[in-house]
Chain A
Amino acid sequence: MIGHLTPLDDWVVVLPVLLCLLGAAALLMLRAQLKLQVWIANAVVLLVVICDAVLIQRVTATGPLSMTMGKWLPPFGISFTADLMGAGFAAAAAFATFCVLLSMQGEKHEAAARDGLYPLVLLLLAGVSGAFLTGDLFNLYVWFEVMLIASFGLFVLAGRPLQFDGAVKYGIPNFIATTLFLLALGLLYGTIGTLNMADIIGAARRADVGPLVAIAGLFALAFGMKAALFPVNAWLPASYHTPPAPLSALMGGMLTKVGVYAFVRLLVMLLPDARDVLAPAITIVAIATMLLGPLSALTETNLRRAIGFLLIGGVGVAISCVSQVQVSVLEGGTFYVVHAILTLTALYLVAGLIEQATGTFDIREMGGLYAANSWLSLLFLILILAIAGVPPFLGFWPKLVLLQGFLAEGSWPLVFALLLNGLLTLLVGARLWSLIFWRPRSAPLGRPQGAGGAILLTGTIVMLGLWPSLLVNLASGAAAGLLDPQRYIAAVGLSP
């Protein structure tokens, strides 16, 4: 048993989750006070952002931070362990949530607030933060389920038939994916006898690699379904455009990235020997995902469905880092995930503004926005350039780092796929932009409400793109931590 308490400073590891859960509970109790709910939800998410920032600062200064629950020694008690990758992703997710909350102010969302919009958003953030910060594989499963049930609630919130359709297409595959995750987890426990991530690293090195490859394959399938990788991603374009746009933004920005995070964490850090065996398959899946996503977006007429396909292309890029174990490649991958969380959220938010202004989902019926709303066209243009990876914008830097890594390894298929992904994404973006903004229009245009969140997020993306050294340094620290987990294991209190 552990004799001493965790120092109060180290509680910052669990604070993001704790604040969200307590906030959600408070909001449930205050469900009649709609005005108050907005303020509490915003304040809690802002606090979570601050906690995540403090966490990043602590982790950069002193290495990974860990806290084990309930007076049980680490391999038995459930650990929360924050390393640079987890803390960075958690901060990006919390900031994106904050911007989404900002854009949900106003009369329009009052009905949703009565149905429990704000507690569900906080629970979703609790699930996402928990998944990024936990150091225990079974606990990761629990956070996946917290995230899942909160996202189901958000999916069906307004209760339109279209949303039920989306919820079915989203729900069943994701439910199956978490069951597969549980299956793989049970097999891993039966094989090496531990579920603490820091303990798994050592136990997996000592174990026979044969069964671990099969288990890692199952994990890859489960997380691949979550992350929307190529053969198992049909659910994403069928569902992500069905809820109201800010909720699409919330889920499009965060949920698939949790899948990517778990994929990277498990294959690169926990089961590296099995990853070496699976690497060729992962390369093929990553290439197929990053090319088929934007190709499908080219022919799409529903704006948010097109963005969903771009999202899938981005997931392919992020996963491609698992196919090469090399600091530079992993650095690019982790950087890309942060970029994707921020940019995809912003893109869905701006899509929501465009839909509000034109009153339609259909790209063919949009048009003429440039004259009436030139700032909206500017936001959309910046985000399209950022996601395609055009130089001064955020998406360029992770792709550059990834490309350097692939070139150094001489993996030409990945180099060409990455460049082609950029070109196709740019084509899609240019096509969308000219169809939406640069065509004549006779019908009157509405005025979009709640642009604050989108503007704040896009501003942050521009700033981070102009000053990339901050994120590059964080990503290189995260990549180094993934490849050499000694400090992670020591932080939990185990000997490697």
Chain B
Amino acid sequence: MEALQVALVGVFIAVGVYLILSRALIRMLLGVVVLGNGVNLLILVAGRLTRAVPPIIPRAASAPEGYYANPLPQALILTAIVIGFALFAFFAVLALRTYQAMDADNTDHMRLGEPEQPPRLPLEY
């Protein structure tokens, strides 16, 4: 099961990298999201996949009894998902506004900050 999920993580990251290498802003964004989800799955595997009970502490005890699932990866992934979602929302709006402002989705045509033929400095003072 772990090997299968690791292979899945590999597929996710490969797809993410492929999309990020594209020049279209929307595809890059989707790539980053797929990459982020691959990383989330990877954290889940890193916490070891087990068949065990949820880590709930009985009322009288101070630690859970017997085998229990590792709660930490889930906490980490939850945080990462929330953050990733917020950033994706921002980027989706940014992509829209960029398209409206510059009429470009292709990053090759976004050259306001770096003109294609940079001007030369004068050689004398």
Contact = CB atoms under 8 A, between A and B. Distances in A.
Contacts of A364: 119, 121-122
Contacts of B90: 149, 152, 171
Given A162-B112, A189-B46, A175 B39 contact: no
Interface string B11-27: 00100000010000100
Contacts of A438: 125
B119 A142 contact: no
Contact of A1 (B62, B97, B112): B62
Interface stretch (A176-184, A390-398, A450-458): A176-184
A238 B118 CA distance: 12
Interface string B70-81: 001100100110
Contact of A179 (B39, B47, B79, B94): B39
A216 B80 CA distance: 21
A110 interface: no
B98 interface: yes
B87 A149 contact: yes
Contact of A168 (B36, B39, B76, B107): B107
A283 interface: no
A187 B121 CA distance: 48
A169 interface: yes
Nearest to B96: A164
A190 to B, nearest CB: 3
A149 B88 CA distance: 11
A434 interface: yes
Contacts of B28: 172
B98 A301 contact: no
A165 B47 contact: no
B108 interface: no
A152 B86 CA distance: 12
B94 A168 contact: yes
A378 to B, nearest CB: 19
A241 B84 CA distance: 26
Interface in B24-78: 25, 28-29, 32, 35-36, 39, 42-43, 45-48, 62, 72-73, 76
Contacts, number: 117
Contacts of A362: 119
A134 to B, nearest CB: 14
B114 interface: yes
A7 interface: no
A162 B83 CA distance: 26
A182 B80 contact: yes
A165 B39 contact: no
A301 B118 contact: yes
A156 B113 contact: no
B42 A238 contact: no
A161 B87 contact: no
Contact of A186 (B39, B95, B98): B39
B102 interface: yes
A165 B98 contact: yes
A298 to B, nearest CB: 8
Contact of A138 (B76, B95, B113): B76
B121 A301 contact: yes
Given A145-B83, A438-B125, A164 B32 contact: no
Contacts of B62: 1
A363 interface: yes
B73 to A, nearest CB: 8
B91 A171 contact: yes
Nearest to B98: A164
Nearest to B93: A156
B46 A186 contact: yes
Contact of B87 (A145, A159, A165, A363): A145
Interface in A134-177: 138, 141-142, 145, 148-149, 152, 156, 159, 161-162, 164-169, 171-172, 175-176
B21 to A, nearest CB: 11
Contacts of B32: 172, 175-176, 179
Contacts of A175: 32, 87, 91
20 contacts: A138-B76, A138-B79, A142-B79, A165-B111, A168-B25, A169-B113, A171-B94, A175-B32, A176-B32, A186-B42, A186-B76, A190-B45, A238-B113, A238-B114, A242-B112, A299-B118, A299-B120, A434-B125, A435-B125, A439-B125
Given A167-B98, A171-B90, 7 more contacts: A145-B83, A162-B112, A164-B101, A182-B80, A186-B39, A190-B46, A435-B122
